[in-house]
């Protein structure tokens, strides 16, 4: 599916489900990582994550489009368009849009988190850091004593 076909699909869904025209642009955005789509407040355009079409299918994309069109139409009408607003929740329920999109099956695994523990040689104060620090450059914040690395934990 190309951007032109996506534009036609969004216009059709807008007319069929909302009985209102979609007068702006709908495009695929390959940079979206953690969301199925987004409505841009400034330009009123809608961007859709192509991965949802490729990995889950057209029904998921239609649900995402309905969700974004709820933001679009409510914002243009001056009503509550945010997720927390009652207007948004009501309209989303009426048109059958998804509150949340499905998780992509081929989504990369989480980053490995590292925690490093340091301790002051003089006063025994312990410090927990996510990044390695240069112990010859940094000293204890309480007594200015020398810091030593105690242990390092790695969590998946």
Q: State CA 107 to chain mean position distance.
A: 13
- The residue from 5, 11, 68, 77 that is catalytic is 68
Sheet holding 126-129, edge to edge: 126-129, 113-120, 147-155
Which residues lie across from 46 on neighbouring strands? 26, 39
The DSSP annotation for 41-102 comes to: TTT--EEE-HHHHHHT-HHHHHHHHHHHHHHHHHHHHTS--STT-HHHHHHHHHHT--SSPP
**Residue 68 annotated in active site:** yes
* Per-residue tokens: 41: 């407040």
Strands 126-129 and 113-120: antiparallel
Which residues carry out catalysis? 68
């Amino acid at each position: 599916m190309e951007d032109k076909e996506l534009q036609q699909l969004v216009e059709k869904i807008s007319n069929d489900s909302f009985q209102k025209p979609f007068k702006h642009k709908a495009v695929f955005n390959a940079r979206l990582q953690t969301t199925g789509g987004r409505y841009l407040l400034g330009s009123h355009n809608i961007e859709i994550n192509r991965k949802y079409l490729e990995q889950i299918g057209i029904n998921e994309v239609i649900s995402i489009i309905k969700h974004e069109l709820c933001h679009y139409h409510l914002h243009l009408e001056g009503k509550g368009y945010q997720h927390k607003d009652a207007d948004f929740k009501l309209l989303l329920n009426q048109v059958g849009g998804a509150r949340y999109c499905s998780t992509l099956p081929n989504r990369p695994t989480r980053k490995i988190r590292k925690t490093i523990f340091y301790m002051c040689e003089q006063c025994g104060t312990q410090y927990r850091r996510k990044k390695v620090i240069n112990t010859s450059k940094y000293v204890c914040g309480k007594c200015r004593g020398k810091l030593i690395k105690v242990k390092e934990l790695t969590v998946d």
